[in-house]
Amino acid sequence: MKHYDIIFSDIDGTFLNSDHQVTEKTKREVQRVTALGIPFVLSSSRMPEAILPVQHMAGIKQPMIAYGGSLILAENGDVLYSEGLETDKAYQVGQFVEKEFGEVSWNIYSSHKWLCAAPKSVYVIKEEEITGAKSTEGTLEEIHSWELIHKILCIGEPEMISDLETALKENFTDLLIAKSAPTYLEITSSHINKGEAMEIFCKKKGISIENTLVFGDNYNDLDMFQRAGTSYVMANAPEEIKQKAENLTEDHNNDGIASILSKLF
């Protein structure tokens, strides 16, 4: 049986079920594996404050990859890696969204800060409820005092988000633009993605990329699939993603991660 030194997992649609909870079986298996000394690293587009509650829910304290790879934090919260957009570029994107897609809600993140347009839209309120993190209302001008932008998140109706994705890719060719859900569009630095962050983390820890195990369910997980020693896609993933993945497991509501961990460890 193949040897694994580390596990990376997406959160939404992968580690969490459709009720945004960690199942008891998944919790037990993850705790059992980490007790063996194998790190279980959550890799997500979420901000750190939205990843910590998931770790607490699972009863683990581990490193994390936030903002789709733009920020890597050690178990104690120390910054291991940070990459992002210049504030001027983020401001340009925000202005474009406001002018051309006014019904879409923009959200701008930097480290532990989350700024949204005032007043908070229903999309932002729902995102706060799901993640447990809290946003601050403000204007785009406020980010000029920030050092670095780790992520821009645009939330809206699926058709509007698809149109926005097309428009942004035409006008901002130097950015990484990808959906993490039909209603979510993530904009980050083109120099980083989840797969790159995974590789950076492994190099810092002296772990061979061949000994990595990855779980994911969406487009922004593809870079992890391509680099991982072994990858599993959830059964609830889009068909296009399932076709590109190495292995298939059960969906996030039926302990897809737990079933693989129990077999491999």
Whether the CA torsion 101, 65, 136, 140 is positive or negative: it is negative
Q: Give buried/exposed letters for 141-169 (b at 16+ CB in 10 A, else e).
A: eebeebebbbbbbbbbeeebbeebbeebe
96 φ, ψ (degrees, to nearest 5) = -60, -45
Q: Are 151 and 186 in contact, with CB atoms under 8 Å apart?
A: yes
How far apart are alpha carbons 32 and 26 in whole angstroms? 10
Residue-level pLDDT, tens digit, the chain, 265 residues = 789 999 999 999 999 999 999 999 999 999 999 999 999 999 999 999 999 999 999 999 999 999 999 999 999 999 999 999 999 999 999 999 999 999 999 999 999 999 999 899 999 999 999 999 999 999 999 999 999 999 999 999 999 999 999 999 999 999 999 887 889 999 999 999 999 999 999 999 999 999 999 999 998 899 999 999 999 999 999 999 998 889 999 999 999 999 999 999 9
Q: Are strands 79-82 and 136-138 parallel, antiparallel or unpaired?
A: unpaired
Q: In Å, how far from its chain's centre is CA 170? A: 24
Query: Mind listing the domains of the chain with CATH numbers?
Result: 6-82+192-264 (3.40.50.1000), 87-189 (3.30.1240.10)
pLDDT value of residue 205: 96
* Residue 179: partners with Cβ closer than 8 Å, 6 or more residues away: 161, 165, 185, 186, 218, 219, 220
Which residue in 216, 218, 144 sits closest to 179, CA to CA? Answer: 218
Task: State pLDDT tens for residues 143-157.
Answer: 999 999 999 999 999
- The full length of the chain comes to 265
How far apart are alpha carbons 215 and 130 in whole angstroms? 21
How far apart are alpha carbons 74 and 249 in whole angstroms? 29
